[in-house]
Amino acid sequence: MRLLQGTWGRLARSPRPEVTAEANPESFDEDRADAWREAGVGRVSVGVQSLDPDVLRLLGRRCDPARARAALRLAAARFPRVSADWILAPGCRREHLAREFAEARELGVGHVSFYILELHAGTPLAADVAAGRLPRPRDAEVESLYLGACEDLARLGYRQYEISNFCLPGQRSRHNAAYWRRTPYLGLGPGAHGFAGSRRYANIADLTRYVAEVEAGRLPEARVDRLDPAARRLERMFLPLRTAAGAPLRDLPANDAVLARGESEGLWRRVRGRLALTPRGRLRIDDVELLFAGLAGSDPVDTPKSFGLTCGVAPGTGATGAAG
């Protein structure tokens, strides 16, 4: 907390700052909540992932549903704004997810981040799927669950403002929304990511190495991506497509045949000079981005007959790795 307060004292503050802290249900208690609040935290993101004990076991979580509920109650009692993460994993059922979202609403959760689990090679879960001990989710099942979750969250009053993020009125995550507008942000600490207009970077994740680099007067960066004008143009096209507002049509390659086909397949719509993806289109964001990237290049691109389901993200695997 001293580190947070010391850093906070050196930053220029907005009149209404948003300070978010991430909490694991199994380690979030009253002492931690009180210390965070004293340090200036006004928003807590709780990594619930599921309230189904079978799904939690499958994900390898030590937390049980009762502990997750207690963490949400504590967060809502101590902080004016509470977010919670859910994961669409093997074993999820729509009716269970709908009940969990309704319970979260009753517990005071104003913001929900809902991710599709991505299987990473080398993890126990991926090994179980590869060996046939767990079924590999079919695209149709994933699509049905995701679209159903979007409908259920909307019925509860949560508005979808980005592929994985939903909120009640006034509860949108300001830092999350800023990423898709290409707003520069500073990444401090091991494993943090940052962005400075034409430069994206990731810090060294190992704490010992990170401290050694800082004490030696060097930037503790593990990776730096320098964005040339073409890359910046692609980001200006693609990042807004993740949001409910969509991207200005003037920033997208003009191809009436592609635009008409995407509309006919229910992937996007054109509204007041912008192209906004539908929930079904957001599931295919990878293919949509590849298509427009090709249209923006010099090589001809064939208009696809259909778009495949390729989207899959989980907390910590995206560009930001930040709290929802």
Range of the domain at 28: 2-173
Task: Looking at the structure, tell me whether residues 28 and 136 fall in a common domain.
Answer: yes
- Structurally, the chain folds into a number of domains equal to 3
Annotate 54-117 with three-state secondary structure. Answer: HHHHHCCCCCCHHHHHHHHHHHHHHCCEEEEEEEECCCCCHHHHHHHHHHHHHHCCCEEEEEEC
Looking at residue 17, its pLDDT comes to 80
Are residue 214 and residue 234 in the same domain, yes or no?
no
What is the rounded average pLDDT of the residues 295-323? 42
Indicate if 199 and 284 belong to the same structural domain.
no
> Does residue 150 share a domain with residue 237?
no
- pTM of the full predicted structure? 0.85
Cα gap 277→283, rounded to integer Å:
9
Tell whether 26 and 106 lie within a shared domain.
yes
Same domain, 62 and 80: yes
Residue corresponding to tokens 């397949």: 265
Same domain, 269 and 148: no
Q: Do 149 and 128 have their domain in common?
A: yes
In a domain, 141, yes or no: yes
Q: Are residues 88 and 199 in the same domain?
A: no
Question: Could you read off the pLDDT of 215-274 as tens digits, one per residue?
Answer: 999 999 999 999 999 888 888 888 999 999 999 998 888 678 888 989 999 999 999 999
Token reading at 315 = 């907390």
CATH number of the CATH domain containing 105: 3.30.750.200
Residue 302 lies in a domain: no
In a domain, 37, yes or no: yes
Q: Is residue 181 part of a domain?
A: no
| Range from 242-251, 285-294, 303-312 carrying the lowest mean pLDDT | 303-312
